[in-house]
Chains A and B, each alone.
Chain A
Amino acid sequence: MTQAGVGEPVDTAGVRLERSIARLLTIGTYLSIALLAIGFVLMLATGVSPLAGTPAFDPASIPADLLALRPLGYLWLGLIVIVATPSARVVASLIGYARSGERRMVYVSIAILVVIGLSVTLATGLEG
């Protein structure tokens, strides 16, 4: 199945870009599921209750938690991966559209990333 109708030219650059993005989304989803599953198993093994309350988000502690096999490191990393996957898709689109010279879509991609960046900035500022 292709987007082009019968007798119409197939947008090969567009097809390649969509397939690349599809792979990126699939990998991000399964990576996140795997990390969350490891974290959940570690939760069960260490007796951490899911209703223990929301822990503070501290990205700096993730590497140490991962090495020490503490559940929180895997859980935070899994959540970061899944929340960042759509943004990674926009970055991939930006690169793809820049290569194919679609300026309008390049601007759209940049604008989306600006909004995402604004979310991070405002949330961090309000939290601080």
Chain B
Amino acid sequence: MIVGLGLLAGGAAAGLFGSLLGLGGGILIVPLLTLAFGLPLITAVGVSLVCVIMTSSAAAGVYLERRVANLRLGMTLELFTAIGALVGGLIAFLLPERVLDGLFTVLLVYTAVTMARQRSPAPAPASAVAAPDPVPATAAVADGPIGEADRDPAEDPHRPSPVPGPAPAASGAHVFGEAAGGSALGPAPRPPFLQTLSGPDYRVHRFGFGILGSIGAGLASALLGIGGGLIKVPVLHVVMGVPLRVATATSNLMIGITASASAIIYLIRGGLDPYTAAPTAIGVFVGASVGSRVAHRIDLRILRGLFVAVLLYTAWQMLQRALA
């Protein structure tokens, strides 16, 4: 019973911190299960995929209801994330655990460095960030771009933000957009299908890069049990010119299919442990819901600094496993 409640509490903590910091859940759940509970990495990845599907489905439901996500673009790109996840799910069972530990170490360090470089947003009024229901908070856990792009659902998602916001990518998108298409909304000739994937106030560019990024995100998701937002959101936003909020929401939508393509393989091949998955997934869901309600009361700068230290310590632990 104690272990079950420990997993529930650990999942809740992962969901809470993920929600507060806009991190992907997998990056917290996999180390928790391997380092604290001694589970094999492959089992931890399977459990993490379940948590990722759950939180992304809940969040995507809210994003679609509010018309923030771009369904056509998300579905078109998720075809390629699913292909990447299918390949990743198959090779995950062939790779030595040391290799996966090593890959996860790289991911942790990359995330810690990205977080450390991130500027803190100004404190927002409670009314702007408090979620009306517990579901939207899970967006951050499912697919955090390590930003707060999804904190204000009242804003028009298809209008480029007048303020660059916490992510340097916001200004980068404009630069890349112009480089790719002449001008962000200019009359450059475009394939008709790209017009159907664009929004009323933005145009999608560089679809080929989107395909490559999606395949990479699918591979990473299947191998490491993460949502892949670390890859997809920058690709959508910086490279393809999609506004940050729409990129976050659309990436979240794509995660469900991405993770389920590999989770099916884990399920059938005995890599999905229901006894561990249940308390962890319930905990993550509850923690993420709580996180959305308290986010505006917490000084994220201190929390972020603490979390960078935790990520680096975890990376060190994972590196030791990889080299053991």
Q: Which residues of A does B touch, CB under 8 Å? A: 1-5, 8, 14-15, 17-19, 21-26, 28-29, 32-33, 36-37, 39-40, 43-44, 47-57, 71-72, 75-76, 78-80, 82-87, 89-90, 93, 104-105, 108-109, 111-112, 115-116, 118-120, 122-124, 126-127
Contact = CB atoms under 8 A, between A and B. Distances in A.
A40 B67 contact: no
Given A25-B64, A47-B1, A82-B57, 5 more contacts: A22-B64, A33-B54, A116-B82, A119-B261, A122-B86
Interface stretch (B228-236, B264-272, B300-308): B264-272
B86 A108 contact: no
Interface string B239-274: 000000000000000001101111111011111111
A79 to B, nearest CB: 6
B257 A116 contact: yes
Query: Shortest 9 CB-CB distances between A and B: which pairs?
Result: A86-B256, A75-B274, A25-B61, A123-B268, A22-B64, A22-B65, A26-B61, A54-B273, A5-B200
Contacts of B154: 1
B196 interface: yes
B75 interface: yes
A52 B37 CA distance: 12
Contact of B256 (A25, A48, A108, A109): A25
Given A21-B71, A22-B62, A112-B257, A119 B86 contact: yes
Contacts of A50: 3-4, 7, 273, 275-276, 278-279
Nearest to B1: A44
A92 B270 CA distance: 29
B59 to A, nearest CB: 9
B64 A112 contact: no
A74 to B, nearest CB: 9
Given A21-B64, A39-B278, A105-B75, A44 B4 contact: yes
Interface string B182-226: 000000000001001001110000000000000000000000000
B279 to A, nearest CB: 5
Contacts of B299: none
A86 B82 CA distance: 11
B18 to A, nearest CB: 16
A33 B285 contact: yes
Contacts of B135: 26, 29
B119 interface: no
B28 interface: no
Given A115-B83, A116-B261, A127 B267 contact: no
A76 B61 CA distance: 23
Interface string B145-167: 00000000010111100000000
B297 interface: no
A115 B260 CA distance: 11
Contact of B193 (A51, A104, A111): A104
A90 B75 CA distance: 8
A76 B285 CA distance: 18
